[in-house]
Protein backbone atom coordinates (compact mmCIF):
# COMPACT_ATOMS: atom_id res chain seq x y z
CA UNK A 1 0.00 0.00 0.00
CA UNK A 2 1.34 3.43 -0.95
CA UNK A 3 1.94 5.90 1.90
CA UNK A 4 -0.56 8.79 2.18
CA UNK A 5 -0.21 11.94 0.14
CA UNK A 6 1.29 14.83 2.08
CA UNK A 7 -0.28 18.25 2.59
CA UNK A 8 1.92 21.02 3.96
CA UNK A 9 -0.04 23.84 5.63
CA UNK A 10 1.81 27.16 5.87
CA UNK A 11 0.61 29.79 8.33
CA UNK A 12 0.35 33.58 8.10
CA UNK A 13 2.04 36.47 9.86
CA UNK A 14 1.94 36.31 13.71
CA UNK A 15 0.76 32.68 13.61
CA UNK A 16 2.71 29.41 14.00
CA UNK A 17 2.31 25.92 12.62
CA UNK A 18 0.18 25.10 15.67
CA UNK A 19 -2.43 27.60 14.45
CA UNK A 20 -3.60 24.92 12.01
CA UNK A 21 -4.73 22.46 14.70
CA UNK A 22 -8.50 23.05 14.22
CA UNK A 23 -8.00 22.72 10.46
CA UNK A 24 -5.96 19.54 10.88
CA UNK A 25 -8.82 18.00 12.86
CA UNK A 26 -11.34 19.01 10.20
CA UNK A 27 -9.15 17.62 7.42
CA UNK A 28 -8.79 14.32 9.29
CA UNK A 29 -12.59 14.06 9.46
CA UNK A 30 -12.88 14.60 5.71
CA UNK A 31 -9.88 12.55 4.57
CA UNK A 32 -8.24 10.42 7.28
CA UNK A 33 -5.49 9.18 4.94
CA UNK A 34 -4.09 12.68 4.32
CA UNK A 35 -0.72 13.22 6.03
CA UNK A 36 -0.51 16.85 7.19
CA UNK A 37 2.61 18.84 8.11
CA UNK A 38 2.52 22.30 9.72
CA UNK A 39 6.01 23.87 9.80
CA UNK A 40 6.84 27.21 11.41
CA UNK A 41 7.95 29.88 8.98
CA UNK A 42 11.29 31.59 9.70
CA UNK A 43 10.80 34.30 12.32
CA UNK A 44 7.82 32.50 13.88
CA UNK A 45 7.35 30.03 16.72
CA UNK A 46 10.08 27.43 16.92
CA UNK A 47 11.82 29.03 13.93
CA UNK A 48 11.93 32.52 15.48
CA UNK A 49 15.72 32.52 15.35
CA UNK A 50 15.99 31.48 11.70
CA UNK A 51 16.89 34.31 9.40
CA UNK A 52 16.50 33.59 5.66
CA UNK A 53 16.90 37.04 4.11
CA UNK A 54 14.25 36.91 1.39
CA UNK A 55 11.00 35.36 0.27
CA UNK A 56 12.97 33.09 -2.05
CA UNK A 57 15.14 31.82 0.80
CA UNK A 58 12.11 31.25 3.02
CA UNK A 59 10.54 29.29 0.16
CA UNK A 60 13.70 27.23 -0.26
CA UNK A 61 13.71 26.44 3.47
CA UNK A 62 10.06 25.40 3.27
CA UNK A 63 10.75 23.12 0.32
CA UNK A 64 13.68 21.51 2.11
CA UNK A 65 11.42 20.77 5.08
CA UNK A 66 8.24 19.83 3.23
CA UNK A 67 9.69 17.93 0.27
CA UNK A 68 7.43 16.87 -2.57
CA UNK A 69 3.85 17.52 -1.45
CA UNK A 70 0.71 19.57 -1.91
CA UNK A 71 1.29 23.01 -0.39
CA UNK A 72 -1.46 25.19 1.08
CA UNK A 73 -0.51 28.64 2.33
CA UNK A 74 -2.48 31.37 4.05
CA UNK A 75 -1.74 35.08 3.62
CA UNK A 76 2.04 35.56 4.09
CA UNK A 77 2.36 31.76 3.96
CA UNK A 78 0.57 31.78 0.60
CA UNK A 79 3.23 34.03 -0.88
CA UNK A 80 5.95 31.71 0.40
CA UNK A 81 4.16 28.72 -1.17
CA UNK A 82 3.68 30.61 -4.43
CA UNK A 83 7.38 31.43 -4.58
CA UNK A 84 8.24 27.80 -3.89
CA UNK A 85 5.93 26.68 -6.72
CA UNK A 86 7.64 29.10 -9.10
CA UNK A 87 11.20 28.31 -8.03
CA UNK A 88 10.90 24.57 -7.37
CA UNK A 89 7.81 23.33 -9.25
CA UNK A 90 9.01 19.73 -9.02
CA UNK A 91 8.31 19.86 -5.27
CA UNK A 92 4.77 21.24 -5.51
CA UNK A 93 2.26 18.63 -6.67
CA UNK A 94 -0.73 20.90 -6.09
CA UNK A 95 -1.00 24.47 -4.81
CA UNK A 96 -3.67 25.98 -2.56
CA UNK A 97 -3.44 29.72 -1.91
CA UNK A 98 -5.72 31.31 0.72
CA UNK A 99 -6.17 35.05 1.13
CA UNK A 100 -3.29 35.50 -1.29
CA UNK A 101 -1.76 38.16 -3.48
CA UNK A 102 1.03 37.92 -6.03
CA UNK A 103 2.41 41.21 -4.71
CA UNK A 104 2.23 44.88 -5.58
CA UNK A 105 2.91 45.45 -9.27
CA UNK A 106 3.13 49.25 -8.92
CA UNK A 107 6.62 50.26 -7.84
CA UNK A 108 5.50 53.37 -5.95
CA UNK A 109 2.86 51.41 -4.05
CA UNK A 110 5.42 48.73 -3.21
CA UNK A 111 7.89 51.33 -1.93
CA UNK A 112 5.21 52.98 0.19
CA UNK A 113 4.25 49.62 1.63
CA UNK A 114 7.87 48.78 2.37
CA UNK A 115 8.17 52.02 4.32
CA UNK A 116 4.98 51.32 6.25
CA UNK A 117 6.14 47.79 7.07
CA UNK A 118 9.51 49.08 8.24
CA UNK A 119 7.83 51.58 10.54
CA UNK A 120 5.52 48.90 11.94
CA UNK A 121 8.41 46.46 12.43
CA UNK A 122 10.47 49.08 14.26
CA UNK A 123 7.53 49.87 16.50
CA UNK A 124 6.58 46.28 17.33
CA UNK A 125 10.18 45.54 18.31
CA UNK A 126 9.83 48.06 21.14
CA UNK A 127 6.73 46.51 22.77
CA UNK A 128 5.73 43.19 24.33
CA UNK A 129 4.38 40.78 21.74
CA UNK A 130 1.05 40.59 23.60
CA UNK A 131 0.57 44.34 23.30
CA UNK A 132 1.30 44.23 19.59
CA UNK A 133 -1.14 41.34 19.10
CA UNK A 134 -3.91 43.33 20.79
CA UNK A 135 -3.48 46.01 18.13
CA UNK A 136 -2.96 43.58 15.24
CA UNK A 137 -6.06 41.53 16.01
CA UNK A 138 -8.15 44.69 16.42
CA UNK A 139 -7.49 45.59 12.78
CA UNK A 140 -10.20 45.37 10.11
CA UNK A 141 -9.20 41.92 8.82
CA UNK A 142 -9.40 40.29 12.24
CA UNK A 143 -11.61 42.35 14.57
CA UNK A 144 -14.63 40.10 13.92
CA UNK A 145 -12.82 36.92 15.02
CA UNK A 146 -13.88 35.10 18.17
CA UNK A 147 -11.20 34.50 20.79
CA UNK A 148 -10.93 30.87 19.62
CA UNK A 149 -10.57 31.87 15.97
CA UNK A 150 -8.00 34.56 16.75
CA UNK A 151 -5.90 32.16 18.84
CA UNK A 152 -4.10 34.92 20.69
CA UNK A 153 -2.47 32.45 23.14
CA UNK A 154 -0.93 30.53 20.24
CA UNK A 155 0.43 33.72 18.66
CA UNK A 156 2.20 34.55 21.93
CA UNK A 157 4.75 31.87 20.98
CA UNK A 158 6.26 34.51 18.69
CA UNK A 159 8.81 37.17 19.62
CA UNK A 160 8.95 40.86 18.70
CA UNK A 161 12.35 40.35 17.04
CA UNK A 162 11.14 37.41 14.97
CA UNK A 163 7.97 39.16 13.84
CA UNK A 164 9.84 42.35 13.01
CA UNK A 165 12.30 40.40 10.89
CA UNK A 166 9.52 38.53 9.07
CA UNK A 167 7.63 41.74 8.32
CA UNK A 168 10.71 43.46 6.93
CA UNK A 169 11.82 40.52 4.79
CA UNK A 170 8.54 38.98 3.69
CA UNK A 171 5.98 41.75 3.91
CA UNK A 172 4.04 42.56 0.74
CA UNK A 173 6.34 45.48 -0.03
CA UNK A 174 9.56 43.55 0.45
CA UNK A 175 9.71 41.74 -2.90
CA UNK A 176 8.91 42.43 -6.57
CA UNK A 177 5.48 41.25 -7.64
CA UNK A 178 5.03 37.76 -9.10
CA UNK A 179 2.04 38.50 -11.35
CA UNK A 180 4.00 38.15 -14.59
CA UNK A 181 5.23 34.69 -13.57
CA UNK A 182 1.84 33.17 -12.69
CA UNK A 183 1.47 31.70 -16.18
CA UNK A 184 4.52 29.50 -15.46
CA UNK A 185 2.54 27.44 -12.94
CA UNK A 186 1.60 24.05 -14.35
CA UNK A 187 0.39 22.20 -11.26
CA UNK A 188 -3.32 22.26 -10.30
CA UNK A 189 -4.10 25.38 -8.27
CA UNK A 190 -6.93 26.37 -5.94
CA UNK A 191 -7.40 30.03 -5.03
CA UNK A 192 -9.46 30.41 -1.87
CA UNK A 193 -10.83 33.42 -0.01
CA UNK A 194 -13.48 34.09 2.57
CA UNK A 195 -16.92 34.95 1.20
CA UNK A 196 -16.87 38.28 3.06
CA UNK A 197 -13.28 39.16 2.15
CA UNK A 198 -14.00 41.33 -0.88
CA UNK A 199 -10.41 42.42 -1.53
CA UNK A 200 -8.93 38.93 -1.53
CA UNK A 201 -11.89 37.36 -3.31
CA UNK A 202 -11.17 39.75 -6.18
CA UNK A 203 -7.46 38.97 -6.02
CA UNK A 204 -8.23 35.24 -6.16
CA UNK A 205 -10.15 35.76 -9.40
CA UNK A 206 -7.34 37.87 -10.86
CA UNK A 207 -4.69 35.32 -9.94
CA UNK A 208 -6.73 32.44 -11.35
CA UNK A 209 -7.14 34.33 -14.61
CA UNK A 210 -3.38 34.93 -14.77
CA UNK A 211 -2.59 31.27 -14.01
CA UNK A 212 -5.06 29.93 -16.54
CA UNK A 213 -7.20 26.82 -16.87
CA UNK A 214 -5.17 24.81 -14.36
CA UNK A 215 -6.62 26.89 -11.52
CA UNK A 216 -10.01 27.46 -9.95
CA UNK A 217 -11.50 29.78 -7.35
CA UNK A 218 -13.66 28.88 -4.36
CA UNK A 219 -15.09 31.01 -1.55
CA UNK A 220 -15.40 29.84 2.04
CA UNK A 221 -18.99 30.52 3.00
CA UNK A 222 -19.51 32.77 6.01
CA UNK A 223 -15.81 33.61 6.42
CA UNK A 224 -13.63 36.70 6.19
CA UNK A 225 -9.89 36.96 5.60
CA UNK A 226 -8.90 34.29 8.14
CA UNK A 227 -11.13 31.75 6.37
CA UNK A 228 -9.40 28.47 7.41
CA UNK A 229 -9.52 29.45 11.07
CA UNK A 230 -13.01 30.96 11.02
CA UNK A 231 -14.64 28.01 9.26
CA UNK A 232 -12.26 25.03 9.48
CA UNK A 233 -14.87 22.43 8.55
CA UNK A 234 -15.99 24.33 5.45
CA UNK A 235 -12.40 25.03 4.47
CA UNK A 236 -11.46 21.36 4.89
CA UNK A 237 -14.45 20.21 2.83
CA UNK A 238 -13.54 22.54 -0.03
CA UNK A 239 -9.90 21.53 -0.01
CA UNK A 240 -10.41 17.76 0.22
CA UNK A 241 -13.09 17.84 -2.47
CA UNK A 242 -10.71 19.75 -4.75
CA UNK A 243 -7.86 17.35 -3.96
CA UNK A 244 -10.09 14.42 -4.94
CA UNK A 245 -10.95 16.07 -8.26
CA UNK A 246 -7.32 16.97 -8.95
CA UNK A 247 -5.17 13.94 -8.08
CA UNK A 248 -1.46 14.52 -7.79
CA UNK A 249 0.85 12.86 -10.32
CA UNK A 250 1.02 9.14 -9.67
CA UNK A 251 -2.21 9.02 -7.65
CA UNK A 252 -4.76 6.38 -8.53
CA UNK A 253 -8.14 7.87 -9.24
CA UNK A 254 -9.01 10.69 -6.84
CA UNK A 255 -7.68 9.11 -3.67
CA UNK A 256 -4.80 10.98 -1.98
CA UNK A 257 -1.66 8.79 -1.76
CA UNK A 258 2.07 9.64 -1.63
CA UNK A 259 4.11 10.19 -4.80
CA UNK A 260 -4.56 44.65 10.62
CA UNK A 261 -3.71 44.32 6.99
CA UNK A 262 -2.44 41.44 5.17
CA UNK A 263 1.34 41.44 5.54
Phi, psi for residue 216 in degrees, rounded to 5: -145, 160
- Considering the entire predicted model, what is its pTM? 0.92
Tally Cβ neighbours within 10 Å of residue 47.
Answer: 20
Phi, psi at 128, each rounded to 5°: -60, 145
Report the pLDDT value the prediction gives residue 259, as an integer from 0 to 100: 32
Q: Give pLDDT < 70 ranges for the chain.
A: 1-4, 48-53, 250-263
Distance CA 62, CA 258 (A): 18
Separation CA 81–CA 85 (nearest Å): 6
Q: Which CATH number fits domain 6-245: 3.40.50.1820, 3.40.50.1860, 3.30.465.10, 3.40.640.10?
A: 3.40.50.1820
pLDDT at residue number 5:
85
Which pLDDT belongs to residue 45? Answer: 75
Supply the pLDDT for residue 249: 74
Which has the closest alpha carbon to 174: 236, 128, 235, 111?
111
What backbone phi and psi angles, to 5 degrees, belong to 25? -65, -40
| H or E element that contains 243 | helix 232-245
pLDDT for 248: 80
d(CA 96, CA 99): 10
Amino acid sequence: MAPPRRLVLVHGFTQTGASWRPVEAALASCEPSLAVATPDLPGHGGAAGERPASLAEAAAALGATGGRATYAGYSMGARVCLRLALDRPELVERLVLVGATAGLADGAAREARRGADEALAARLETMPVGEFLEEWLAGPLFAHLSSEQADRPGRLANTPAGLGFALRRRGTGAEPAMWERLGELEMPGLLLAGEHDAKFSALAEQMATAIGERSEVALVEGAGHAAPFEKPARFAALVTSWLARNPAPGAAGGTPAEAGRDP
